[in-house]
Amino acid sequence: MKTYNAPVDVENKWVVIDATDVVVGRLASYVAKRLRGKHRPDFTPHIDTGDHVVVINAEKAKFTGNKLTDKVYYRHTGYPGGIKSTTAGKILSGRFPERAIELAVKRMLPKESPLARKQFSKLRVYAGAEHPHTAQSPETVDFASMNRKNVKTA
């Protein structure tokens, strides 16, 4: 059996996804799959075959259950005893609500490697509905209508 290797000069598409009332975890899973290129028939793990993904309306994304208050994000300052924590609700209602989606997607990609950094750099998340990537003529993906569980109701 021969191993298939995708060509190095892969054409990458541009995709726009609206995150209004969409569940963050499901959206992050879909975006990570598109960034890696696993949706393509010529997927190769060591070659970047993924698409450029633009997520708009990140401030309107939703968490299910009690995750707004119970989900805790940790970071460390580098000093002894310098662990800091914040909740998902504070991130979504704060100054940079797009970080909740960025963190979810980053943690679904392969761990620290040059390929993972290159794939993650193809993600652009915007809190509002405007984005500066109309020149790339991105196609719109209606993620909310793919599955009834993708949208949080009530």
Residue 119 within any structural domain of the chain:
yes
Residue 84 within any structural domain of the chain:
no
Answer yes or no: is pLDDT of 2 > 90: no
pTM confidence score? 0.90
Which residue intervals of the chain are DSSP H helices?
A: 24-36, 67-70, 88-93, 99-106, 114-120
Residue 125 within any structural domain of the chain:
yes
pLDDT tens digits along 105-134: 999 999 889 999 999 999 999 999 999 999
CATH code (residue 138): 3.90.1180.10
Q: Please report which helix (H) or strand (E) contains residue 44, including its range.
A: none
Average pLDDT over residues 19-38: 95
Q: 134: domain range?
A: 14-62+109-147
Count of structural domains, the chain: 1
